[in-house]
Amino acid sequence: ALQPNGCPVSARAAAFDPFGGSYQVDPAASLRWSRDEEPVFYSPEIGYWVVTRYEDVKAVFRDNILFSPSIALEKITPVSDEATATLAKYDYAMARTLVNEDEPAHMPRRRVLMDPFTPKELVHHEPMVRRLTREYVDRFVDTGRVDLVDEMLWEVPLTVALHFLGVPEEDMDTMREYSIAHTVNTWGRPAPEEQVAVAEAVGKFWQYAGQVLEKMRQDPSGHGWMPYGIRVQQEQPEVVTDSYLHSMMMAGIVAAHETTANASANAFRLLLENRSVWEELCADPGLISGAVEECLRHSGSVAAWRRLVTADTTIGGVDIPAGSKLLIATSSANRDDRHFEGADDFDIRRENASDHLTFGFGGHQCLGKNLARMEMQIFLEELTTRLPHLELVPDQEFTYLPNTSFRGPDHVWVHWDPAENPERRDP
């Protein structure tokens, strides 16, 4: 609808800024006006149509032909010529993998590559996740004060991802270092003078990933998604190509790492802010799996995802032309009262919590969702058992990296009295 002055963009749509202010603090709350009054609006600031109601977001996910995922990982900051030249020097050739790949290529690959994500396969990784979690908690359990993100929630999901992929132990430290640079390259807003340094690191990551892949090829019999992919390639080389495997290794780390680290940081913040719920989990670990799901709904780590409109269509009654870009606000959909009763309330017994769209929906829905859930479950089991008296350090300000899609606090400071640790009182 046109505004009284004839402008097609409403004042609130014009003011929408996903890189600042209220969207970073609480994306769902900052889009409440849209859910109520203008559920599909054009944002001149980013050049995207923003979709905010549950039914509309789900409908977009459901049709991945009309709404192509090809732009899902498009760089937010365009790369300088110099950075492009730097990447070329390393033969950087990152291809689309699963998440941003169109049909008909996507589904056959998804089908042949999904077995390692099934619950029966994930069971093999559980002891590794638990061991890593315990090791990290051992390091700080007697200190009395820690930033959970820096000391645990950032590194454990990265290391779990490397194990899941089947990266040999001796290569893990190098891969860890390079992958962090890659994240900045895709999602951050590096200043022009930083871009070349970032490109250097990404180029090195690409080459190193290639070397690790060659090493795995010598003996692809082991556990892990990459050795599995190598075995699939031997039978179906046209479905899983060399360049695909190479890209998959880098894309896999990125998909698995920050999403899970942020989701876990959001969960600890939310649970510790709702102290009585935290105490319920300490008393009854049977409640943890419901709590994980509700945390993913209420404060998920993917705030919005992207799709490209491939033919003229309508969404929520609004005409959208072919070629339009969509920002589908999963964080807003997850707090839509039309689907979730009292959607802003945090309720770990909510029956339809798992309807949330934090993992997407349909043909591209997150393959790693059960690995992520397992990690969050184990983090909560270990910390509610070993540090039930943990508290948020009061009056800390939570900060977030400005971006449209990935959301989690940079730091979550907690403190406790180590003399009160259950393992000291009751060894």
For binding to ligand HEM (CB under 6 A), which residues are involved?
Answer: 61, 69, 98-99, 110, 161, 164, 255-256, 259-260, 263, 300-302, 305, 358-362, 364-368, 371-372
CB 87 → ligand HEM: shortest distance, Å? 23
Q: Given the complex with ligand HEM, which of 190 and 297 has the nearer CB atom?
A: 297
Select 210 or 252, whichever has its Cβ closest to ligand HEM: 252
Q: How far is the CB of 337 from ligand HEM (least distance, A)?
A: 22
Return the closest-CA partner of residue 141 out of 422, 426, 413: 422
Provide, rounded to whole angstroms, the least separation between the CB of residue 176 and ligand HEM: 15
What does the buried/exposed string (b/e) look like for 270-290 if buried means 16 or more CB atoms within 10 Å of the residue's CB? bbbebeebbebbbeeeebbbb
Residue 9 CB, shortest distance to ligand HEM, in Å, is 27
> Which residues, 6+ apart, have CB-to-CB distance to 170 below 8 Å?
none
Q: Which is nearer to ligand HEM, 110 or 325 (CB)?
A: 110
Of 10 and 358, the one with the shorter C-beta distance to ligand HEM is: 358
Task: Give CA separation, 246 vs 29, 91, 165, 239, 398, in Å.
Answer: 40, 12, 12, 14, 37
What's the chain's Rg over C-alpha atoms?
Answer: 22
| Strand 48-51, strand 325-328: pairing | parallel
Contact 18, 46 (CB under 8 A): yes
| Closest residue by beta carbon to ligand HEM | 368
- 109: nearest Cα among 244, 271, 252: 244
Shortest CB 71 distance to ligand HEM, Å:
11
Q: Which residue, 13 or 165, has its beta carbon nearer to ligand HEM?
A: 165
344's tokens = 């802003």
Q: CA–CA separation, 207 vs 214, rounded Å?
A: 11
Closer residue to ligand HEM (CB): 195 or 405: 405
- Distance (Å, rounded) from C-alpha 143 to C-alpha 426? 18
Q: What's the closest the beta carbon of residue 340 comes to ligand HEM, in angstroms?
A: 17
- Looking at the Cβ atoms of 31 and 199, the one nearer to ligand HEM is 31
Look at the block and give the residue holding tokens 């002891």: 127
CB of 110 to ligand HEM, least distance (A): 4
Do residues 249 and 213 touch, judged by C-beta distance below 8 A?
Answer: yes
Nearer to ligand HEM, 158 or 390 (CB): 158
Amino acid, single-letter form, for residue 299: S
Residue 374: CB atoms within 10 A of its CB come to 22
Helices (H), 274-404: 275-283, 288-298, 330-333, 369-386
Q: Which is nearer to ligand HEM, 195 or 361 (CB)?
A: 361
CB of 58 to ligand HEM, least distance (A): 10
CB of 154 to ligand HEM, least distance (A): 13
